[in-house]
């Protein structure tokens, strides 16, 4: 059965627009198809196996995604920016059967080739070839995303063709994607919203407009590009949307629909965006990688108070459970859906996050670790995390992973990492409390170790030296309250 094979759902756009706009040149679905067939032919025999895509933006990147799926393999998507140790961990964890590049291999690809003997495949050098589509079932994997792991290593989260197809079609319908509509592809490839917005655009016949890497992180230049490219829909994180609002200098935002995800949204940001852009539509999209997303909400003008995460996306049910697994008006947000991940790459659905909910029917279930509150109008509000996982600048980070990096340095006797939040409740930086083995703590080396692990994810981290030992509670846990209340040594 191939009804939900993602690559079969890609539509030929109408006369109003192309499938892809890159470097002022338009590419049709047929252009992508022709390139993807060559790639699929080169991947013959790899059905059911992971294939890494590390191709720069442009038609070859999106043809590579289609080619992997056409071959019956599943995608592990990497950006082509600076790669840290985390990227190596992901490659070592997944062990892709092939790595697709465009041009000479970079340091990450060369490392993997030397590490495993897997030669990279340059998609720009492939001969013309025929490649019949590999049979794909709805429950076959389409991609593997990675989240920050509590053990200090990233966790692989696969999703199926059925899940990506259902979400992509919903996304296109919910946010008005159709022929003639232009959709920015802003999200980093390492994060699953990137593959979702990509295929939502391709499913709907809209025109996908990848944001050039040189302007992606520069708000003023991005605003100019969005206006020049006549983009209609942009998905980004609230912290960057705030930078766009500041850089607009009183001009309306150049997009019609702004989808905000990955972080809590403050009321003052909503007010600023609505005031500066009378015609803009704002949306809040919430959910973990394990379910792709869970809820959504169109943010009305003039609404006061906390911005809700809204109602369940079709195909998902969201319950609030107290500590005894009873439904409550406030509690942990737990998602029931056929689109819950098949399980982590290492461990499947054996962990407590997938534990069934007694008396609430069959699953699969996913326990998000997020707390929520149900308002009288039925809308859900996000109320923080149960554990030490945070969202910072749109990236989902386990504080334990940062701690693992620092603990691995020979100069660190022990450490703990806490999140600093602003008045809106958004995580703005990380504070590492470190007991150093050296009289002159090598904070530059610590910072370099964190950068090496996370690559392009620039974590704003500061260090405070704690003399002797970290304070602990009677149960032996690090006492975060005493750490934050004490002055300690100067912040570095």
The C-alpha atoms of residue 168 and residue 449 are separated, in whole angstroms, by 37
Both 219 and 365 in one domain: the answer is yes
Both 377 and 395 in one domain: the answer is no
- 177 is a domain residue: no
Per-residue pLDDT of the chain (492 residues), as tens digits, is 345 799 999 987 666 679 999 999 999 999 999 999 999 999 999 999 999 999 999 999 999 999 999 999 999 999 998 777 889 999 999 999 999 999 999 999 999 999 999 999 999 999 988 877 789 999 999 999 998 766 667 899 999 999 999 999 999 999 999 999 999 999 989 889 999 999 999 999 999 999 999 999 899 999 999 999 999 999 998 888 988 998 998 899 999 999 999 888 888 899 999 999 999 999 999 999 999 999 999 999 988 888 999 999 999 999 999 989 999 999 999 999 999 999 999 888 988 999 999 999 888 999 999 989 999 999 999 987 766 667 777 777 878 788 888 988 999 988 999 988 776 667 888 999 999 999 999 999 999 999 888 876 678 899 999 998 888 654 455 778 788 876 555 556
pLDDT of the residue at 478 = 74
Residue 125: partners with Cβ closer than 8 Å, 6 or more residues away? none
Where a domain ends, among 386, 421, 451?
Answer: 386
Residue 420: partners with Cβ closer than 8 Å, 6 or more residues away? 427, 428, 429, 430, 431
pLDDT of the residue at 151 = 64
Beta bridge partners of 396: 391
Both 67 and 142 in one domain: the answer is yes
Residue 69 sits in a domain of what CATH number? 3.40.50.12780
pLDDT of the residue at 134 = 87
The C-alpha atoms of residue 14 and residue 22 are separated, in whole angstroms, by 18
- Quote the domain boundaries for residue 55: 1-158
Backbone phi, psi, residue 343, to 5°:
130, 160
pLDDT of the residue at 456 = 66
Backbone phi, psi, residue 76, to 5°:
-120, 105
Both 268 and 341 in one domain: the answer is yes
Both 11 and 96 in one domain: the answer is yes
Number of domains making up the chain? 3
Both 8 and 115 in one domain: the answer is yes
pLDDT of the residue at 264 = 84
pLDDT of the residue at 325 = 94
Q: Which residue carries 């309306």 as its tokens? A: 252
Both 226 and 320 in one domain: the answer is yes
The C-alpha atoms of residue 126 and residue 132 are separated, in whole angstroms, by 16
Helix, strand, coil share of the chain (percent; to 5): 30, 25, 45
Six-digit token string for 244: 């766009």
pLDDT of the residue at 471 = 85
- 169 is a domain residue: no
- 402 is a domain residue: yes
Give the 3-state secondary structure of residue 448. helix
- 477 is a domain residue: yes
pLDDT of the residue at 474 = 45
Both 401 and 365 in one domain: the answer is no
- The CA-CA-CA angle for residues 231, 197, 138, to 5°, reads 150
What Cα–Cα distance (Å) separates residue 299 from each residue in 51, 181, 324? Answer: 38, 21, 33
Minimal CA–CA distance to 455: which of 189, 60, 95, 155?
A: 189
Q: What is the pTM of this model?
A: 0.82
Terminal-to-terminal C-alpha distance of the chain: 58
The C-alpha atoms of residue 7 and residue 202 are separated, in whole angstroms, by 9
Where a domain ends, among 143, 158, 173?
Answer: 158
DSSP state of 388: S
């Amino acid at each position: 059965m191939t009804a939900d094979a993602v690559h079969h759902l890609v539509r030929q756009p109408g006369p109003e627009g192309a499938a892809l706009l890159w470097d002022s040149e338009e590419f049709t679905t047929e252009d992508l198809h022709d390139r993807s067939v060559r790639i699929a032919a080169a991947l013959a025999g790899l059905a059911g196996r992971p294939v890494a895509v590390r191709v720069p933006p442009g038609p070859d990147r999106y043809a590579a995604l289609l080619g992997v799926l056409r071959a019956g393999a599943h995608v592990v998507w990497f950006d082509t920016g600076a790669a840290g140790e985390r990227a190596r961990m992901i490659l070592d964890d997944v062990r892709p059967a092939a790595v697709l590049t465009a041009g000479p291999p970079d340091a990450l690809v060369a490392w993997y080739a030397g590490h495993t003997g897997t030669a990279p495949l340059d998609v720009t050098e492939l001969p013309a070839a025929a490649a019949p589509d590999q049979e794909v079932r709805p429950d076959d994997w389409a991609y593997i995303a990675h989240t920050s792991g509590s053990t200090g290593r990233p966790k692989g989260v696969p999703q199926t063709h059925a899940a990506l197809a259902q979400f992509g079609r919903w996304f296109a319908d919910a946010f008005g994607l159709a022929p003639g509509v232009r959709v920015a592809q802003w999200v980093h490839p390492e994060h699953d919203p990137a593959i979702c917005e990509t295929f939502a655009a391709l499913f709907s016949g809209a025109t996908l407009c990848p944001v050039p890497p040189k302007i992606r992180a520069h708000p003023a230049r991005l605003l100019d590009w969005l206006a020049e490219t006549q983009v209609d829909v942009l998905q980004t994180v609230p912290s960057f949307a705030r930078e766009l609002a500041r850089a607009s200098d009183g001009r309306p935002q150049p997009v019609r629909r702004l989808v905000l995800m990955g972080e809590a949204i403050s009321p003052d940001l909503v007010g600023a965006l609505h005031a500066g852009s009378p015609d803009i539509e704002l949306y809040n999209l919430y959910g973990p990688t394990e379910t792709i997303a869970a809820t959504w909400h169109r943010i009305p003008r003039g609404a006061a108070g906390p911005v809700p995460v809204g109602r369940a996306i079709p195909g998902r049910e969201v319950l609030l459970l107290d500590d005894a697994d009873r439904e409550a008006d406030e509690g942990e947000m737990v998602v029931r859906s056929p689109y819950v991940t098949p399980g982590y790459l290492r461990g499947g659905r054996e962990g407590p996050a997938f534990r069934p909910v007694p008396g609430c029917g069959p699953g699969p279930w996913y326990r998000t670790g997020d707390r929520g509150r149900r308002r009288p109008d039925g809308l859900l509000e996000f109320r923080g995390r149960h554990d030490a996982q945070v969202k910072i600048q749109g990236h989902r980070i386990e504080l334990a992973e940062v701690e693992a990096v620092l603990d691995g340095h020979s100069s660190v006797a022990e450490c703990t990492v806490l999140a600093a939040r602003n008045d809106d409740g958004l995580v703005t930086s990380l504070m590492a409390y470190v007991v150093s083995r050296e009289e002159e703590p090598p904070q530059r080396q610590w910072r370099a170790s964190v950068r090496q692990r996370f690559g392009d994810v620039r974590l704003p981290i500061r260090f405070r030296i704690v003399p002797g030992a970290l304070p602990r509670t009677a149960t032996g846990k690090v006492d975060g309250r005493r750490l934050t209340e004490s002055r300690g040594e100067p912040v570095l």
